Amino acid sequence: MKYILEDQITLITGGSQGLGKQFAQKYYQETINSKIIIISRSEDKLRNAVTDIILTATNRKKEEALSENDEQTVHLLEDAHTDIDPIIINEHTLHSTIADHRLFYMPCDLSDYESVASLFQTLTMVNMLPTQVLSCAGGSTPKLFKDLTGFELENGVRMNYLTALYLSHQVARVVPNCHLILFSSVTAFFPFIGYSQYAPLKVSLKALVGILRHELPYARISCVFPGNFQSEGFELEEVTKPDITKSIEGPSYPISCEECCNKIVWWLEMGYDDITTDVVGWFLMSLDMGLNKHNNKSFLWICQLLIGTLANLIIVPIYMVICSIQIKLWHNRQSHQE
């Protein structure tokens, strides 16, 4: 199944901010016929995201028209508006832009199974079942395990696993021949101190992808393992992230949300289904492959298998000793401060 942006009905969860919103922006700007449906819990955030996506696209087109001295197009774009048109179906509301009816939004709690089922019922009623589904919803609260609250632990499970699990289940039942793109994390390859609320759920997603590839032979199942990218979520993570977590991560230079989105789209267009966004992620995937992996669809996967095998025998044991020393020294410093 070839990945293309045009002539699609694309459902994007977590579409009100971050990477999900960036994907919606890309589809809206670079296609003519595709319909984009963004999903999030907050209707206010969704409405603001739709307005921002349209204004950004309009401004870019205006800049292009100005550079080409196309005054007629500039005037037309200046008259463009971002009014929202509610479409009500059996008490469910799917909102669309009046201007072109290409960008839609619908608030939905994706961690509630019945809400997700209701979302797909609504899409069925309006004949807008997706051909592509991007599960971008998620978020991390990096803290030491003992410092996490019960709410934060539960929220981690809801945001990072249940949202993708329930969405995937509806895809399997309603549109089993679509392209499903799940978003895991590089922490799925190397879980470490500070990510107990996040990494275990991303590992679970990786396992789910392997099972879905067995059970849905007519679907294309892709899994993305992004590294750090600049977003609202990344800024919040830095506030709570323990020093030892930052130390093990090393210097982190997050790429822009737009660059991250463009890289993922490029790899998908090239036909790959296990995707990282930087060299570190690719190397960590190599270490995680082992000799019992199946259905891996990443760039140069044979090289990854060889590199991973050698590195796990020679490099990883040394690094893990260094990592253990770092953590032990950090614990010693903490005990002296108490």
Active site positions, annotated: 184, 198, 202
d(CA 125, CA 128): 8
Token representation of residue 198:
């996040």
Token representation of residue 264:
């993922």
Helix H segments across 90-242? 113-125, 150-157, 163-174, 199-215, 232-240
Measured between its terminal Cα atoms, the distance across the chain in Å is: 57
The CA distances from residue 232 to 36, 127, 211, 238, 247, in Å, are: 22, 33, 32, 10, 22
Amino acid at 211: I
Q: What are phi and psi of 182, to 5 degrees?
A: -100, 150
Given a contact cutoff of 8 angstroms between Cβ atoms, the answer to whether 113 and 124 are in contact is no
Token representation of residue 158:
């809801």
Q: How many CB atoms lie within 10 A of CB 292?
A: 5
Burial 135-155 (b: 16+ CB within 10 A, else e): bbbbbbbbbeeeebeeeeeeb
How many residues can be counted in the chain?
A: 338
d(CA 30, CA 22): 12
Burial 206-218 (b: 16+ CB within 10 A, else e): bebbeebbeebee
The CA distances from residue 319 to 29, 168, 246, 288, in Å, are: 44, 36, 16, 15
